[in-house]
Structures are given as structure tokens and as C-alpha cells.
Amino acid sequence: MDQALRDRWLAQADATLSSAGRRAGAARTAIVEWLAREGQCLVTAQDVLDRLPQGSPSSVYRTLDELFALGLLHRFHGQDGVARYEIADPLRHHHHFIDEASGAARPFTDDELERAIEAAARRLGVRLTGHEVVIRGRRSTNGTQS
Ligand SMILES: [Zn+2]
């Protein structure tokens, strides 16, 4: 867990939720605090429910929708149809590799990829406000990554 990211996102979530006039309830506060720690890369609503037994399914789904609508979470739809979320942070950014053998999602960063995306945006005449890349595949047996 990235402690600085946790603190920064919690402060952003507090500011955003209060300026949106959303009243903090105990259930939402627990979910937001859990996401700050455990939602730094892809989690599902079920993950939240499994780890926060005091949260009801309706409060978890409502809170995830609310945080997504306010731009505090990124949402990804996997091939299994299950929505996954992670906290949105302007200072930290990664992409995902989906291992099709196991279905597991792994975060990665790649400076060359970032430069290629910026160059593509320039060629397209687009002012880049965001991007996300999902690489799907199977690890080669002689791959160099651990
Ligand atoms: Zn991630």
C-alpha cells in the first residue's frame, strides 16, 4: 500500500464529497477508508463486502457509484462482466495486464507507452485528458517478468 497515495486520496475524497453536499454516514466512511488502503488497484464490490461485513450490498454499490460519478474512482469492466474499481489519483497512474490463463489483473507502468500515447494524441490533434490501456495475453514460459 502506498501511504502517501492513501492520504492524498482520502483528502481529495473528503473535499469532493463535502463540496458535493454529500453527508458522510458511517457505512460510507468505512468504505472510503477501506478503498484508500485496499483500492489502489482493481477491487470489486464483492471484495468490499467480504472485507467490510458491516457494509450492506446496497450501501457498497451506492457508494461505489457515487465515488465513480464524482471522479474519485476509475471503473473497469472485465470480460467476466464484473466491474472493478480503483482510486483515481492525478499523480499516480498505471495500466493493467490481464493474464488470460488465470484472469488475474496486474498493474504495470511503462514510460515508452506513455510517450507513445502522448505522441498519438498529438498526431490526432487531441488534448489528452486521460487514457487507460489493458493488455490481455498469456505469459510466455520464457518471459523475463517474475
Ligand atoms: Zn490498477
Is the pLDDT reported for residue 126 higher than 60? Answer: yes
Question: Could you tell me where the beta strands, DSSP code E, fall in the chain?
Answer: 73-77, 83-87, 95-99, 105-108, 134-137
**Cβ contacts of residue 91 below 8 Å, gap of 6+?**
5, 8
Distance 72 CA to ligand 1 centre (A): 14
* 128 or 145, higher pLDDT: 128
Distance 58 CA to ligand 1 centre (A): 24
pLDDT of residue 109: 93
Distance 68 CA to ligand 1 centre (A): 15
Which residues pair with residue 74 across a beta bridge? 86
36-52 confidence digits (pLDDT tens): 999 999 999 999 999 98
C-alpha separations of 127 from 130, 139, 142 in Å? 9, 34, 39
Distance 31 CA to ligand 1 centre (A): 18
pLDDT of residue 40: 94
* 22 or 122, higher pLDDT: 122
What's the grid cell of residue 107? 498493474
* pLDDT bracket for residue 106 (50, 70, 90): confident
pLDDT of residue 43: 94
4-39 confidence digits (pLDDT tens): 999 999 999 999 999 998 877 888 999 999 999 999
pLDDT of residue 78: 73
How far, rounded to the nearest angstrom, does the alpha carbon of residue 53 sit from its chain's CA centroid? 22
Distance 85 CA to ligand 1 centre (A): 8
How far is it, in rounded angstroms, from Cα 46 to Cα 52? 10
Is the pLDDT reported for residue 146 higher than 70? Answer: no
Distance 90 CA to ligand 1 centre (A): 13
61-98 confidence digits (pLDDT tens): 999 999 999 999 999 887 778 899 999 987 888 999 98
pLDDT of residue 14: 94
Distance 34 CA to ligand 1 centre (A): 16
Domains and CATH numbers, the chain: 3-87 (1.10.10.10), 95-137 (3.30.1490.190)
